[in-house]
Amino acid sequence: MNFYLVGFLVALTLVPMCLCNNMRILAYFSVVANVATLLGTVLIFVFFFSAGLRPVASFPVYTNVPNLLIGFSIAMCTFEGISLILPIQNKMANPEFYANPAGVLNVGMVVVIGINAALGFYGFLAIGDTVEGSITLNIGERPYWFAPIKPLFVLAIYVSYVLQYYVPATIFARLMEKIPCHRLASNKRRSLHVNLMRVSLVLFTYLMVIAVPKLELMISLIGSFASSVLAFIMPSVLEIVYLWSERTRIRHFWLVVVCKHTLFIFLGLVTFLGGTTATLFKIIQAFGPSHVSAWPIVS
């Protein structure tokens, strides 16, 4: 079937699911996604070690700067769940335990970062730089126990989309309250407006996918443009501003707060500016005229 038609049909099946705005119901989707991801990840590690790991010395020590920036931008997508932190905390029965040293947030992020690092390290030793946009594309369906890997991750991404969708849909719904024609409308019409907005967001996601059908470039673009701002720049700036009035009461304020967050802001800006620029040039190289390949930054 046509790639665009399949994508459109998948987007249509997501519409009814995205009309749900109950976080408790969406949590069940998250459980299904986590189980599918766990099973798929275990099978991927089995593939790595059964395929054989090449020695580290057989790989180049470093790569060029644009590829390094793109790789770092892809790694930034590890933090793409940061937009769900406050909504999940607000819905918890005991939100005060959320950010404890052994709380949900820290334990969850340590596990996620650890799994991502292990997948990247062992995946590169097993496959090298011939890896596709998704590691699952390098895994065949023989022997038969590797066949479920792709369906498991398709299921995980499909059902977790609804949970990721919750935050932007909620933000847009609140922004719509500032529009007089929506705020003053009847409840039935207001509900219609919100549902149309939700459908539009799903279709916008579909348009983004078909605009850049190379998965690794889309992930890099999101990581450099969005995740760097959400995970590094904005939290650091906001905490400095929030604690500024208390700077005389905080011990070693300039070291503990300002210097630490300045480093995070710097890393975020490097990823945002450098990663976004390098990724955009890669996108132009992949889909633009052939002479673009001569540009130094994408060589």
Cα 179 to Cα 294: distance, rounded to the nearest angstrom = 48
Q: State both tokens at 54.
A: 């090449």
Task: For residue 276, give the nearest of 227, 221, 226 by alpha carbon.
Answer: 221
Same structural domain for residues 251 and 229? yes
Going by pLDDT thresholds of 50, 70 and 90, the confidence category of residue 266 is: very high
Domain boundary among the residues 150, 177, 211 is at 211
Same structural domain for residues 86 and 219? no
Looking at residue 81, what is its pLDDT? 66
Same structural domain for residues 56 and 111? yes
Least confident stretch, 78-92, 153-167, 196-210, 282-296: 282-296
pLDDT at 35 over 90: yes
Same structural domain for residues 94 and 52? yes
Which of left, alpha, beta for 250 (phi over 0: left; psi -120 to 50: alpha)?
beta
Domain boundary among the residues 187, 211, 235 is at 211
C-alpha pair distances (Å), 260 with each of 54, 232, 266, 286: 38, 11, 10, 38
Domain boundary among the residues 211, 245, 276 is at 211
Same structural domain for residues 41 and 59? yes
Residue 132 domain boundaries: 3-211
Same structural domain for residues 181 and 63? yes
Contact 193, 184 (CB under 8 A): no
What letter represents residue 94's amino acid?
N
Predicted model pTM: 0.74
Same structural domain for residues 32 and 159? yes
Least confident stretch, 81-95, 111-125, 266-280: 81-95
